[in-house]
């Protein structure tokens, strides 16, 4: 999945202290907050252009597949559908907390919710666009455990009142790799909606970017969606024009 970085007022000396050796020591809340902040800083560049492929499965059968290009800058995102050909006229625009789908073939836009399914897959718009854990959530608690043999901190993230995403996320964060390995996403009623697993990561400059993200539905247990990320190009903010994050710009698209 794509992720917004947000700094908290903790010295990065706390993050530097989160070495594998610390996995045997008792972590403090400040340590965990610093780890989350560090992951937010390194999970994805603030400004970038990237390619994505999304495949939606029922068991092992492919139901549908999409590819698109994503341009991000600060809290804005523009998703341009590239495949299949029948979807090439669709654009998903996020400006702050506002989200639209624009159809260039009919010159029409519609407002979307972050919770809406993305193109009928198990991913919703919140999964695809920018997630900002520290902006949208607070650390409600944590435990030290392991996942697939990797020492992790299991962090409970509670949604802030204005958050459009999940009511609660239980996140497994690797101490050794200092990245997210798995998120469980819950509804306001406490129901587990989906599990998100992050695949192997590649280093792109200072960023550790998961090459793939598997989203498994807990509501429709045979369904899952695989998101593959490639060609991540970090950019300087001034390399991406603000104009492209406007409906007026999209109205010029064919």
Q: Would you give per-residue pLDDT tens digits along the chain (254 residues)?
A: 433 332 233 333 333 444 444 444 589 999 999 999 999 889 999 899 999 999 999 999 999 999 999 999 988 999 999 999 999 999 999 998 889 999 999 999 999 988 889 998 999 988 887 667 777 899 999 999 988 888 999 999 999 987 878 999 999 999 999 999 999 999 999 999 999 999 999 999 999 999 999 999 998 889 999 999 999 999 999 999 999 999 999 999 87
Please state whether the peptide bond connecting residue 125 to the residue before it is cis, i.e. omega within 30 degrees of 0.
no
Other residues' Cβ atoms within 10 Å of the Cβ of residue 190 = 8
Is pTM, for the whole model, over 0.95?
A: no
Nearest to 52 by CA among 106, 116, 121: 121
Nearest to 183 by CA among 165, 205, 203, 207: 165
């Amino acid at each position: 999945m794509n992720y917004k970085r947000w700094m908290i007022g903790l010295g990065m000396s706390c993050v530097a202290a989160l070495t594998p050796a610390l996995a045997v020591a008792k972590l403090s809340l400040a340590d965990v907050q610093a780890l989350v902040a560090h992951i937010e800083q390194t999970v994805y560049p603030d400004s970038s252009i990237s390619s994505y492929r999304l495949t939606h499965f029922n068991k092992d059968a492919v139901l549908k597949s999409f590819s698109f290009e994503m341009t991000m800058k600060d809290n804005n995102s523009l998703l341009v559908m590239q495949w299949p050909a029948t979807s090439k006229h669709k654009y998903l625009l996020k400006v702050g907390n506002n989200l639209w789908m624009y159809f260039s073939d009919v010159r029409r836009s519609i407002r979307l919710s972050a919770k809406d399914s993305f193109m009928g897959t198990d991913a919703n718009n919140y999964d695809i666009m920018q997630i900002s854990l520290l902006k949208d959530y607070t650390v409600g608690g944590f435990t030290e455990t392991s996942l697939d043999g990797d020492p992790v901190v299991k962090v409970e993230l509670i949604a802030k009142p204005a958050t459009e995403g999940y009511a609660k996320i239980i996140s497994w964060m690797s101490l050794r790799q200092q990245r997210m390995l798995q998120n469980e996403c819950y509804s306001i009623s406490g129901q587990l909606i989906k599990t998100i697993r992050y695949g192997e990561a590649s280093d792109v400059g200072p960023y550790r970017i998961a090459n793939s993200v598997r989203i498994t539905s807990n509501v429709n247990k045979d369904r899952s969606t695989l998101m593959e990320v490639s060609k991540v190009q970090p950019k300087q903010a001034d390399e991406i024009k603000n104009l492209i994050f406007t409906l007026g710009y999209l109205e010029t698209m064919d």
